[in-house]
Amino acid sequence: MAKTSRRLECNVAGDFFVDDSCIDCGACRWLAPQSFDREGEYAFVAHQPDDAVQTDAVLAALVACPVGAIGGGGRQVAEAARRFPLLWPGVPAGHGVYAVGFHSRDTFGAASWLIVRPGGNVLVDCPRYDGHLADRIDRLGGVHTLFLTHRDDVAGHERWADRFGAERILHAGDVADGTAMVERPIHGTDPIDLADDLRLLPVPGHTEGHLCLLYRDRYLFTGDHLAFANVPHGQPTGLIAFDRFCWYDWREQTASMARLAEQPFEWVFPGHGAPGYLSGEAMRADLVRLVAWMATRNLA
């Protein structure tokens, strides 16, 4: 847990603070954009919450923080932890898209998402393991499929798969020693319909075997392939690709991005950064803009 003795000086006065164990994963800044900002390589509390909504957002960030760098909250913290998995605002309850919270240090604080659906729940990427969180996921129907978008976000997959007897999906291009036992390695670059409402989309580029998952022709889970730019204290803006963090091939990632324009989706749920919504038409137009920008970047 965060230590007051290590509290960063840039925090504003008040109950909540960030200490110097912060790894700058950015999760707090999109979970509670009204309260957190960044200075140098640290997040800090720029504005103490002044209503219940802002307090809940800061507490959610505190629970999600992969290294326990956020302090404050007292007895409210345990209650905040029990709110995860958290139905994501703006998504109809019947569509069952939940933020799992409990981000892991081993995935550099990547978000994990839970899709609750009659055909079997899907856990997209791995949160850090917590037995009480697993019990709450169990009450939502458990995990039928553990969908691993790419090799960077697999940490802890054994424990989650064992807990629920889940089938793991990972592209063969991203399988390594620690994931050689995944039940369903994916080959090739053709989309695969896993069910009527679930389509797997290979999008090589960030890594050789990166995958996206399209749910209900509306919700796209994108790992590190595609995200929204975040504006401090504001709503996410345009689509982005992480050109400074492309580990495999930027040209392939650009081609993968162009193929995504053929898919219908209105929501993007990335591994890093805030989820965002655009109408289908606006999403496609912004994707076309992004692909054109990517083509101007001459990265290896």
Q: Which one of 70, 220, 226, 287 is in contact with ligand SF4 (CB under 6 A)?
A: 70
Angle at 192 between CA 257 and CA 256, to 5 degrees: 10
Please tell me the distance from the alpha carbon of residue 27 to that of residue 41, in angstroms, as a whole number.
14
- Residue 154, amino acid: V
**Burial bucket for residue 196 (CB in 10 Å: 0-12, 13-18, 19+):** exposed
Place of tokens 């209503």: 51
Residue 26 binds ligand SF4, judged by CB under 6 A? yes
Check residue 100 for interaction with ligand SF4 (CB under 6 A): no
Around Cβ 300, how many Cβ atoms within 10 Å? 7
CB distance 46 to 8 below 8 Å: no
> Exposure of 218 by Cβ count < 10 A (0-12 exposed, 13-18 middle, 19+ buried)?
middle
Quote the CA–CA distance of 132 and 19 in Å, as a whole number: 26
Binder among 8, 16, 17, 27 for ligand SF4 (CB under 6 A): 27
- Span of 21-29, 155-163, 199-207, 238-246 interacting with ligand SF4 by CB under 6 A: 21-29
Among 15, 47, 67, 242, binds ligand SF4 (CB under 6 A): 67
Residues in contact with ligand SF4, counted by CB under 6 A, come to a total of 16
Q: How far apart, in Å, are the Cα atoms of 137 and each of 133, 157, 212, 233, 261?
A: 6, 15, 22, 31, 33
Q: How many helices (H) and strands (E) does the chain have?
A: 7, 19
| 34 is a site residue for ligand SF4 (CB under 6 A) | no
Which residue stretch of 25-33, 120-128, 130-138, 176-184 sits at the interface with ligand SF4 (rule: CB under 6 A)? 25-33
Tell me which of 28, 133, 155, 227 binds ligand SF4, using CB under 6 A: 28
**Tokens in use for 294?**
């990517």
Of residues 60 and 260, the one with the C-beta less far from ligand SF4: 60
| Distance of alpha carbon 225 from alpha carbon 1, whole angstroms | 31
List binders of ligand SF4 among 166-225 (CB under 6 A). Answer: none
Residue closer to ligand SF4 (CB basis): 65 or 166: 65
Q: CA 255, CA 263: separation in Å to the nearest integer?
A: 14
In this chain, which of 8, 46, 65, 124 binds ligand SF4, going by CB under 6 A? 65
- Shorter beta-carbon distance to ligand SF4: residue 145 or 230: 230
The total of other beta-carbon atoms located within 10 Å of residue 164's CB is 19
Report the residue number, 2 or 170, with the smaller CB distance to ligand SF4: 2
Q: Is residue 116 near ligand SF4 by the rule CB under 6 A?
A: no
Q: For ligand SF4, which is the closer residue by CB, 7 or 259?
A: 7
State which residue, 40 or 118, has the beta carbon closest to ligand SF4. 40
Query: Closest CB to ligand SF4 among 112 and 256?
Result: 112
Give the residue with the Cβ less far from ligand SF4, 234 or 280: 234
Which region among 20-28, 132-140, 162-170, 292-300 touches ligand SF4 (by CB under 6 A)?
20-28
Under the criterion CB under 6 A, does residue 18 sit at the interface with ligand SF4? Answer: yes
Interface residues toward ligand SF4, by CB under 6 A? 18, 22-28, 43, 61, 65-67, 69-70, 109
